Amino acid sequence: MQDLYYSSTRNSSKRITSSQAIVNGIAGDGGLYVPSFIPALDRPFEELIEMDYRQLACYIIGKFLPDFTEQELKSCVDKAYDKKFDTDKIAPLVKVGGLYFLELYHGATSAFKDMALSLLPHLLTAAAKKTGIEKEIVILTATSGDTGKAALESFSNVSGTKIIVFYPSKGVSLIQERQMVTQEGDNAFVCAIEGNFDDAQTGVKNIFADKDFNALISRSGYMLSSANSINIGRLIPQVVYYMNAYIRLIERSEIEQGQEINIVVPTGNFGNILAAYYAKRMGLAVKRFLCASNENNVLYDFINTGVYDKKRELKLTMSPSMDILISSNLERLLYELCNKDAGILSGLYSNLSKTGRFSISEDMKEKIADFWGGFATESQTLEAIAQAYNKYGYLMDTHTSVAYYVYNDYAESTSDKTKTVIASTASPFKFPGAVLKAICADGGQHKSLDEISMLELLSEISGIEIPVPLKDIANKKVIHNNLCSVGKMKDFVKSSLNL
């Protein structure tokens, strides 16, 4: 069999290795790196059941990163999935009212971004070594809230790297902001920008595409890379937990081998749900992917009409990590749908940048029949939190709640009884204001409280302990106090690197 390599979604002629793809982050032509094929599971479930999370991670990730040796990968994986997680299961599957919640928030920052970002610094430094890079790697990241902190936490004090995070000044929760601005580490830089997440993400993409600026960076002994979910090193580790969930379902005799499941994902940049799609292509039996959006329901419209139209106002919601109008990783799905035709993709994305929209062919649309789009409004999000809490005593955050709502909507309108896994993407304690509002009988009691006191109140009411990563942010010193316009992002990078 041919070795797996990577190329850009917008130009298939240039082939690079998986380590080069990880080091570069994003392709120079504006496209995303994609594997030349999606490797198939080649070991029976009987064997996979014997593996713990780390062993399964080595196996799955190894299939996508063929230029890493088994030993190298094991060393990366062991450093990533260790005591930073508050459970040895790493991603526990919790059964609630006939559904399975795949809890992805047991890592260092209480959000699912930890699943991949715990691993990325190790993959990246190993990949840099392999490709003979001696430059210092500068991670440049735009965040809608959770990525920023998870990236800061995982890269801080990793030698040979610097990490620069931009976040929208009005678009992250107080707790998310506090988590970021209190980040310690000599190599960590944080800046709020005047704009929303899409502005921040576009700003970062522009810096990557700026040839002159990259030349300056390079002359100064640095190279830029990305920790956003556009980096293949972010995406691949996410395939693991879907496989793991499936295997644990077999192990617990909840399903038979080969039996189809549904997967529901609260979606923003389309990374998490794309990982589930990759898992299916590897051999996981998935009937439906339920793509759950909040009021920024671009993907809902796209799945239902085949037209992607970002020309609309971005709404700030109580699920801020999904407040996105340009879901970058969708490009990787589209690439698979058009049989890897980089020309078609370049056309679609040139339309998107010129007119704010594109529409896919009937043929491509037929191939997303296993995707179901749904969305929850703000009040539906609150209702769903209250419903799960009152009925089952299960507390969920605002993002997971969007998925839960969309699932219930789906189940009602289709009568589909397929066993279903819901990706649970953040601890409810990351969004205590909204969660309290949803579950408190007196709804208003919390109003005069700051977010930190809300944590305590939520813990008191629910009887659940505040996760350790959130417990002591109140006492931490604010280290980063920066705000700039989108146009000045480059200058912030320059000053952080002393250029």
- Residue 323 or residue 409: which is nearer to ligand PLP going by CB? 323
Task: Name the helix (H) or strand (E) containing 342.
Answer: helix 342-355
SS3 track for 20-35? HHHHHCCCCCCCCEEE
Q: What are the respective helix, strand and coil percentages of the chain, to the nearest 5? A: 50, 15, 35
Residue 68 contacts ligand PLP per CB under 6 A: no
CB 404, min distance to ligand PLP, A: 12
- Residue 9 or residue 317: which is nearer to ligand PLP going by CB? 317
Residue 427 contacts ligand PLP per CB under 6 A: no
Instruction: Give which of 375, 431, 446 is closest to 398, Cα–Cα.
Output: 431
Residue 118 contacts ligand PLP per CB under 6 A: no
Contacts (Cβ under 8 Å, ≥6 apart) of 443: 437
Applying CB under 6 A, among 112, 222, 335, 405 the residue interacting with ligand PLP is 112
- Residue 90 or residue 128: which is nearer to ligand PLP going by CB? 90
Q: What are phi and psi of 328, to 5 degrees?
A: -50, -45
- Count of residues interacting with ligand PLP (CB under 6 A): 17
Residue 271 contacts ligand PLP per CB under 6 A: yes
Choices 43-51, 265-273, 475-483, 485-493; region in contact with ligand PLP by CB under 6 A: 265-273
Residue 146 contacts ligand PLP per CB under 6 A: yes
- Residue 183 or residue 267: which is nearer to ligand PLP going by CB? 267
Choices 85-93, 109-117, 129-137, 342-350; region in contact with ligand PLP by CB under 6 A: 109-117
Applying CB under 6 A, among 161, 269, 293, 317 the residue interacting with ligand PLP is 269
Q: Which residues pair with 223 in a beta bridge?
A: 137
CB 253, min distance to ligand PLP, A: 30
Choices 107-115, 168-176, 254-262, 444-452; region in contact with ligand PLP by CB under 6 A: 107-115
CA distance 424 to 404: 9
What 3-state class would DSSP assign to 438?
helix
- Residue 111 or residue 191: which is nearer to ligand PLP going by CB? 111
- Residue 125 or residue 144: which is nearer to ligand PLP going by CB? 144
Residue type, 457: L
CA distance 263 to 310: 25
Q: What are phi and psi of 262, to 5 degrees?
A: -100, 150
- Give the DSSP letter string of 79-139: HHSSTTSSSTTSS-EEEETTEEEEE---STTSBTHHHHHTTHHHHHHHHHHHTT--SEEEE
Q: Site residues for ligand PLP, window 194-233 (CB under 6 A)?
A: 229
Applying CB under 6 A, among 272, 380, 387, 496 the residue interacting with ligand PLP is 272
- Residue 93 or residue 423: which is nearer to ligand PLP going by CB? 423
Q: Site residues for ligand PLP, window 315-334 (CB under 6 A)?
A: 321-322
Choices 123-131, 268-276, 443-451, 472-480; region in contact with ligand PLP by CB under 6 A: 268-276
CA distance 290 to 311: 24
Residue 267 contacts ligand PLP per CB under 6 A: yes
Contacts (Cβ under 8 Å, ≥6 apart) of 463: none
Pairing of strands 307-309, 357-359: antiparallel
Applying CB under 6 A, among 10, 63, 106, 113 the residue interacting with ligand PLP is 113
Choices 47-55, 93-101, 111-119, 292-300; region in contact with ligand PLP by CB under 6 A: 111-119
CA distance 488 to 474: 30
- Residue 148 or residue 255: which is nearer to ligand PLP going by CB? 148
Task: Name the helix (H) or strand (E) containing 5.
Answer: none
- Residue 363 or residue 370: which is nearer to ligand PLP going by CB? 370
CA distance 397 to 399: 6
Q: Site residues for ligand PLP, window 367-406 (CB under 6 A)?
A: 399
Q: Which residues pair with 188 in a beta bridge?
A: 163
CB 35, min distance to ligand PLP, A: 18
The tokens of 138 are what?
């500068």
Choices 86-94, 220-228, 249-257, 264-272; region in contact with ligand PLP by CB under 6 A: 264-272
The binding site for ligand PLP (CB under 6 A) comprises 111-113, 146, 229, 266-272, 321-322, 399, 425-426
